[in-house]
Amino acid sequence: MHCHLNFKAFSNDYDEVIKRAADAGVTTIINVGTKIDSSQKAVELAQKYDNLYAIVGVHPHHADKVELGSDWLSQIERLAKQPKVVAIGEIGLDNYRYQSNGITDPKAQQELFEAQIMLAHKLKLPLQIHNRHAGKQILEILTHHKNELLNPPGMFHCFAGNIDILQSALRMGFYIGFDGNITYPGLAPGEDTSLPNLVKATPLDRIVIETDSPYLTPTPHRGSRNEPQYAILVGKAIAQIKAVKLNQVDNQTTENVRTLFNL
């Protein structure tokens, strides 16, 4: 289950947050890096707690080479070789115009993405893909690298897009992560397919439950900091959308995570 307890939002109380998640029945927590320092922190947390794992990588937001430093790839490689690192991520492309930083240089994003696909290939780790308004382009790059992908190749985290992109990702063998935003009404800016419709179109044996905490807090806690314990609300929403029992969602998505990340 994808979250960022390695981020500043949790620097004062991650111990309690991890305990609350365990009390709520969340068995496995995967902290995901978005640059060098948060990847390092994710690795440290995985070493400290039995049920925590780490994913390391550089997010397309941080594709600025000057900020990253010239040895970023060897630093990620060093971290990726640590115990309990289960994938390379968040990697991908982001074409959304954020108020704070606009769009990061598309060429730098693509270079970073491809370098990390090659690293994952070298280390035999699956990918965790971040996609925002770049699904078609990401699929093109993945197709170009199809001989360097594992089976299963990885997952799209916090999925959004349309049915075509979803079906192509499924055909390539990817798992699909859904987060608390599936409980939000209406469409996100720039999207044309509702998240519940995408959930409906994804077979349960390919779904992974995520939180993306501290972000994307599910209803009714929307507006406050998201915690891994709320993963259960994402599971409930999926059960409702698919009209199946919650424990079926629970069991299947837990098995999916084990298969995907080799736990």
Residues at the contact surface with Zn ion, assessed by CB under 5 A? 90, 130, 212
228 contacts 3 by C-beta, under 8 angstroms: yes
Min CB(215)–Zn ion separation in Å: 7
Distance CA 193, CA 227 (A): 26
Which C-beta is closer to Zn ion: that of 33 or that of 196? 33
Distance CA 18, CA 80 (A): 23
Min CB(216)–Zn ion separation in Å: 8
Distance CA 205, CA 20 (A): 27
Phi–psi pair at 88, nearest 5 degrees: -105, 125
Which C-beta is closer to Zn ion: that of 90 or that of 227? 90
Min CB(28)–Zn ion separation in Å: 16
Min CB(105)–Zn ion separation in Å: 18
Which C-beta is closer to Zn ion: that of 130 or that of 206? 130
Which C-beta is closer to Zn ion: that of 74 or that of 224? 224
Answer left, alpha or beta for residue 36, where phi above 0 means left and psi between -120 and 50 means alpha.
Answer: alpha
Min CB(60)–Zn ion separation in Å: 9
Which C-beta is closer to Zn ion: that of 11 or that of 251? 11
- 156 C-beta neighbours (distance < 10 Å), count: 28
Give the residue closest to Zn ion by C-beta.
Answer: 130
